[in-house]
Chain A
Amino acid sequence: MRAGERPAGVGIDHIAYRLPPATQTLAELHSSGLLKSSPELLSGFGFDLVHVAGEERHVDLAIGAARTLLCEAAIDPSAIDLVLFASGLSSSSMMGCEPAGAGAFIEVRDVMDLFRYPASYLQHELGLDRAAVAGVDQQGCASLLSAIRLARAMIVAEEGIDTVLCVGADRLPAGASREQIYNVISDGAGAALVRRNTPRNRILAARQITKGALWEPGSIEHEIIAAYFPTARTLILETLEQAGLTIDDIAWILPHNVSLRSWEILLGLLGAPREKLFDRNIARVGHTIAADNIINLRDATDAGLVKPGDRIMLFTFGYGLNWSCMILEH
């Protein structure tokens, strides 16, 4: 390694995302009956707009994000060794069976519908003929970060796997509430290319905590909120320790786009200054289930905020319950 050259490792080499162009305001969502809380409360918690897919299926969003990534990275599709398709919603790990009957979000008309997989569809549509595929799901909003973590583990574990395309995409079923525990949900997709021997966004540490005792989210919102903060703090401190860093070493925190208020509280528990939080997308993008961290990494990079060598922290939380944290060196 020459002087001034940064060490290579497994890192996130390229990023792209796709948001449906149509947006709705909190007031519009409220008038459509798609919010549980008042627009005023959610506005106070930092939300403004969400992106809502019209005709686009979640796999269309995924292909849009992945195609942009492959194009921008000028990657030959045959260079992809593995595709990991991440889905936060259970419905996203299927090809999609909409429109469903009244009162149902998913309609399975034929058992063969259950064998139609987005990962294979993605491989075929993008011409990733040499890539093996797998799905990463059942971790809610932590699914894509988990896929990136698994991609890194696969690269480290197996010779011959050097380049992994991780794609996460979710869209809420039509008519579903756009609010989950005081967070406003967007449809969207994110794609990340995880590669061996790249100096970009080197993964320094990644950890996850799962609390299966709270697997059933329907009636335990209070327990979820109560578990969220101390577990998030514990996980972040553990991940920092794994990386040999402290919170002071982190230049940017790239959040999942949940309520700004909850981030202010978590920052307080971490003793981290508010200025380190890249928060601009909470209002203008909303919470895209699993793609937030990737969207924020891309936007923070494009805005020139993240400098080479900066240590950045990605944190997210998903039903299941799953807390996931990753520290990168940009």
Chain B
Amino acid sequence: MRRTILVTGGTGTLGRELVRRLRQDPDAPRVLVLARTATITDAGASVVRGDLLARPRLGIDPASYDELRREVTHVVHCAAATRFTLPLEEARSVNVAGTRAVLELAAECRRLQGIACFSTVYVSGRRTGVFAESDCGDAGAGFVNSYEQSKAEMEELVRGAISQLPIVLFRLSTIIGDSRTGTVTGFNALHQALRLLYQGLVPMMPGEATTEIDLIPLDFAADASHALLRCMGQGVEAGHVYHLCAGHARSTAVGTLLDATMSAFTRHRPAWRRRTVERPAFADARTYELFVRSVEEAGNEVLLGATRAVQAMAWQLAYPKTFDDRRAAAMLDPLGIRAPAVLDYYPEIVRYCVETNWGTTA
């Protein structure tokens, strides 16, 4: 039976790569992308006009909606509000309510075989220690930003539907670019922090230099999620969670990453060295909180904007954790799919950021 795959977020950073791979599958599945505009995506997939925020039927016209109910065999739900600084309700409207609407559609698909929902390893919030694929949410520890919280709430929603629907959850680590070329197609909070660091606007970060930071390249995220999708029902089982992350062995200490960042800045922009930007200091949570509060009170607009942008991500560093990916690795290792060690490709990512001025001259 030919697969018909509906992809949400198919024009996003990961979704686009995933669609490209799905369209090259030997069984030539029909790939449909839910999108607000256009009729065909740059990855060559057909577009179903709709919007995660629209109701009823995700804003899809009735005829197309009926067709989806008849034809769709798989739903790949990548769409998400990923900005860390969104108000919680805004993040929820996409990540929770939007997911609910997608699951409602999936529940009506007569030929449905599987649903893949993309989440984040940071549903773990402020938890510390090892976070396993079998673990759920923050366990009462709280969250660093609205993205984490809304995604954890999305997972609760998904878990509630697992008894009725064949859902798998893919929890992604932070995607930073292509490991082969350094290209960044989706600039996120980490790239923004790099830019502020380049501009000398990051005086400190919470946590310790030895805190591990887990990052993955886009090509790994796309290859791994594509491979797991192909294994759905054949080892990748409904109701399971899979961590697509670097894991302890291929992560690095944030202090080492900062050193690599500053070396790369200097290497690719020798004039930057003359700005003598100091490496950010590491602060305990109380000190960092005091700094953030002081910046808020003082009201310097530039520093305030920079500090808000950094802290939305950086607070995670105050809650050291590693992500256990043994379930995903059991599937991916035999296929030769494994995240590269961060430091093996990270300098190229920084190079790309510097040389394109964070995408503005790419």
* Interchain CB contact (< 8 A) of B300 among A222, A233, A261, A269: A222
* Interchain CB contact (< 8 A) of A268 among B200, B286, B300: B286
The size bracket of the interface on B is 20 to 34
Q: Point out the residues of chain A lying under 8 angstroms from B277, CB to CB.
A: 227
Instruction: Kindly state whether residue B203 has any CB partner on chain A within 8 Å.
Output: yes
By the criterion CB–CB under 8 Å, are A268 and B287 in contact?
yes
Instruction: Kindly state whether residue A211 has any CB partner on chain B within 8 Å.
Output: yes
Q: How far is it, in angstroms, between the C-alpha of A213 and the C-alpha of B199 when the chains are bound?
A: 12
Instruction: Kindly state whether residue B280 has any CB partner on chain A within 8 Å.
Output: yes
Q: B286's closest neighbor in chain A, by CB?
A: A268
Given A211-B276, A222-B302, A222-B303, are A269 and B204 neighbors across the interface (CB < 8 Å)? yes
Q: A233's closest neighbor in chain B, by CB?
A: B281
Instruction: Kindly state whether residue B90 has any CB partner on chain A within 8 Å.
Output: no
By the criterion CB–CB under 8 Å, are A269 and B287 in contact?
yes
Q: Point out the residues of chain B lying under 8 angstroms from A45, CB to CB.
A: 294
Given A213-B274, A227-B203, A228-B203, are A264 and B302 neighbors across the interface (CB < 8 Å)? no
Instruction: Kindly state whether residue A157 has any CB partner on chain B within 8 Å.
Output: no
* Interchain CB contact (< 8 A) of B203 among A37, A41, A182, A230: A230
Instruction: Kindly state whether residue A74 has any CB partner on chain B within 8 Å.
Output: no
A225 to chain B, nearest CB (A): 6
Instruction: Kindly state whether residue B279 has any CB partner on chain A within 8 Å.
Output: yes
Q: Point out the residues of chain A lying under 8 angstroms from B201, CB to CB.
A: 222-223, 226
Instruction: Kindly state whether residue A231 has any CB partner on chain B within 8 Å.
Output: yes
B320 to chain A, nearest CB (A): 18
Q: How far is it, in angstroms, between the C-alpha of A269 and the C-alpha of B285 when the chains are bound?
A: 10
Q: How far is it, in angstroms, between the C-alpha of A222 and the C-alpha of B287 when the chains are bound?
A: 19
By the criterion CB–CB under 8 Å, are B303 and A269 in contact?
no
Q: Which of B194-215 contact A (CB under 8 A)?
A: 199-204
Instruction: Kindly state whether residue B297 has any CB partner on chain A within 8 Å.
Output: yes
Instruction: Kindly state whether residue A177 has any CB partner on chain B within 8 Å.
Output: no
By the criterion CB–CB under 8 Å, are A265 and B303 in contact?
no
Q: Point out the residues of chain A lying under 8 angstroms from B279, CB to CB.
A: 230
B199, B275, B281, B297, most chain A CB atoms within 10 A: B281
Q: Point out the residues of chain A lying under 8 angstroms from B290, CB to CB.
A: 261, 264-265, 268
B301 to chain A, nearest CB (A): 8
Instruction: Kindly state whether residue B284 has any CB partner on chain A within 8 Å.
Output: yes
B300 to chain A, nearest CB (A): 5
A212 to chain B, nearest CB (A): 8
Q: B293's closest neighbor in chain A, by CB?
A: A261
How many residues belonging to A are interface residues under a CB distance threshold of 8 Å? 25
Given A182-B298, A227-B277, are A222 and B306 neighbors across the interface (CB < 8 Å)? yes
Q: B202's closest neighbor in chain A, by CB?
A: A226
Q: Point out the residues of chain B lying under 8 angstroms from A261, CB to CB.
A: 290, 294
Q: How far is it, in angstroms, between the C-alpha of A233 and the C-alpha of B281 when the chains are bound?
A: 8
By the criterion CB–CB under 8 Å, are B276 and A213 in contact?
yes
Q: How far is it, in angstroms, between the C-alpha of A70 and the C-alpha of B279 when the chains are bound?
A: 44
B280-319 Cβ-contact flags toward A at 8 Å (1 or 0): 1111101100110011011010110010000000000000
Q: Which of A1-58 contact B (CB under 8 A)?
A: 37, 41, 44-45
* Interchain CB contact (< 8 A) of A265 among B274, B278, B291: B291
Q: How far is it, in angstroms, between the C-alpha of A112 and the C-alpha of B281 when the chains are bound?
A: 48
Q: How far is it, in angstroms, between the C-alpha of A211 and the C-alpha of B200 when the chains are bound?
A: 12
Q: Point out the residues of chain A lying under 8 angstroms from B280, CB to CB.
A: 230
Q: B282's closest neighbor in chain A, by CB?
A: A269
Instruction: Kindly state whether residue A234 has any CB partner on chain B within 8 Å.
Output: yes
A291 to chain B, nearest CB (A): 25
Q: How far is it, in angstroms, between the C-alpha of A231 and the C-alpha of B277 when the chains are bound?
A: 9
Q: How far is it, in angstroms, between the C-alpha of A234 and the C-alpha of B274 when the chains are bound?
A: 18
Q: How far is it, in angstroms, between the C-alpha of A230 and the C-alpha of B300 when the chains are bound?
A: 18
A226 to chain B, nearest CB (A): 4
Q: Point out the residues of chain B lying under 8 angstroms from A226, CB to CB.
A: 200-203, 303, 306
Q: How far is it, in angstroms, between the C-alpha of A226 and the C-alpha of B303 when the chains are bound?
A: 8
By the criterion CB–CB under 8 Å, are B284 and A268 in contact?
yes
Q: How far is it, in angstroms, between the C-alpha of A258 and the C-alpha of B199 when the chains are bound?
A: 25
Instruction: Kindly state whether residue A262 has any CB partner on chain B within 8 Å.
Output: yes
The 13 sampled A-B contact pairs (Cβ below 8 Å) are: A44-B297, A222-B300, A222-B303, A226-B303, A227-B200, A227-B277, A227-B278, A229-B203, A229-B281, A230-B203, A265-B291, A268-B287, A269-B287
**Which residues of A pack against B, CB within 8 Å?**
37, 41, 44-45, 182, 211, 213, 221-223, 225-231, 233-234, 261-262, 264-265, 268-269
Beyond A230-B278, A265-B291, 18 additional pairs, beta carbon < 8 A: A221-B300, A223-B199, A225-B295, A225-B303, A226-B201, A226-B203, A227-B200, A227-B277, A227-B278, A229-B203, A230-B203, A234-B281, A261-B290, A262-B294, A264-B287, A264-B290, A268-B283, A269-B283
